[in-house]
Amino acid sequence: MSSTARVAAQAKINLFLRILAREESGYHSLETLFQRIDLADDVVVRVGGSTRSLDCAGPAMPSSGLGPVEKNLAFRAAEAYAQATGWPSGFQIEVEKRIPVGAGLGGGSADAGAVLRALDALSPRPLGEAKLLELATPLGADVPFLTSSSVLSLAWGRGERMLALAALASRHVLLIVPDFAVRTADAYKWLSERRGDRAVRAVSLSVAALTTRANVDALAHNDFEAVIGERDPSVSQIVRDLRGRGAAVAMLSGSGSAVFGLFDADVAASGQEILTRTSERVAEISLD
């Protein structure tokens, strides 16, 4: 039986993101269209022994590190799997960080989803995707999608209610990450302060409207963009610049701070810009 699994933990962008009412639990409901992209962390999961560890390195590692291991989503995902199944006793996780941290691209969530998928591929008694999604839900709104077998999904609630959609043809994605990170909790706080008591209703996106790139482009919107732009005008300037360079869509991803542009024609990246593509398939797991 294999003891090592390797997988590319793909990042995501939100092609549409609407933040709805705050629930009694303190969490906000959302309505979003998730799209995987080819930019990915490299995740290796080994099982065996009794030790549990997580090692992170790579070009996207912040100089201050990622904080306590026990709070890392990838480590928490492995512990959740072990608690739910009684296996494995020990695991060792290695992450090569390539997804910018605190950028709204789901890097930590992608690592968590990759770990859940890797453990299930290694397990002598796999849970299957439905059970994995149950484990993913308490970890965060992006984790269920990044655990799923879909590259494009419409999601509601806290991200746990998903409808997988047919993949759209791949296109260029240009990512620009300002030199500041955004804590998701702060983004929600700022948005709530801006709205006050004003009610926000779901748009109820039609699945039929999400079958072509042109229709998806027409719906592009992110509720966080205005509040993040108020705190750092560079975000709004980057959006304008990307549109000026020919982006069919330019907007904030997630709670930021990354801004992405979607291009139908070739586009060149310069400086610290990241050029990638929207994904047409979920990365496969390799077993050793």
Terminal-residue alpha carbon distance, the chain:
9
CA 36/CA 60 separation, integer angstroms? 18
Write down the pLDDT at residue 183: 83
pLDDT, tens digit, for every residue of 210-241?
A: 888 999 999 899 999 988 888 888 899 999 99
Comparing 97-106, 172-181, 206-215, 219-228, the range with the smallest average pLDDT is: 206-215
Check 12, 42, 97, 120 and give the catalytic one: 12
Write down the pLDDT at residue 149: 97
- Count the alpha carbons within 13 Å of 131 in the hemisphere toward its beta carbon: 10
Write down the pLDDT at residue 24: 53
Average pLDDT of the residues in 68-74:
96
Write down the pLDDT at residue 210: 83
Average pLDDT of the residues in 205-214:
80
**Percent of residues, the chain, with pLDDT higher than 90:** 72
Furthest C-alpha separation in the chain: 56
Chain-wide mean pLDDT for the chain?
Answer: 91
pLDDT, tens digit, for every residue of 151-169?
A: 999 998 776 789 999 999 9
Q: Is the pLDDT of residue 173 over 90?
A: yes
Residue predicted with more confidence, 187 or 246: 246
What is 132-177 written as a DSSP string? Answer: HHHHHGGG-TTHHHHHSS-SEEEEEETTTEEEE-PPPPP-EEEEE-
CATH of the domain at 48: 3.30.230.10
pLDDT, tens digit, for every residue of 9-57?
A: 999 999 999 887 665 555 667 889 999 999 999 999 999 999 999 999 9
Average pLDDT of the residues in 98-115:
96
Write down the pLDDT at residue 205: 67
Write down the pLDDT at residue 60: 95
Question: Which range of residues forms the domain containing residue 37?
Answer: 1-288
Domain count, the chain: 1
Q: Is the pLDDT of residue 203 over 90?
A: no
CA 248/CA 267 separation, integer angstroms? 12
- 12 catalytic? Reply is yes
Write down the pLDDT at residue 23: 58
Written as one letter, the residue type at 102 is G
Check 42, 111, 142, 223 and give the catalytic one: 142
pLDDT, tens digit, for every residue of 126-136?
A: 999 999 999 99
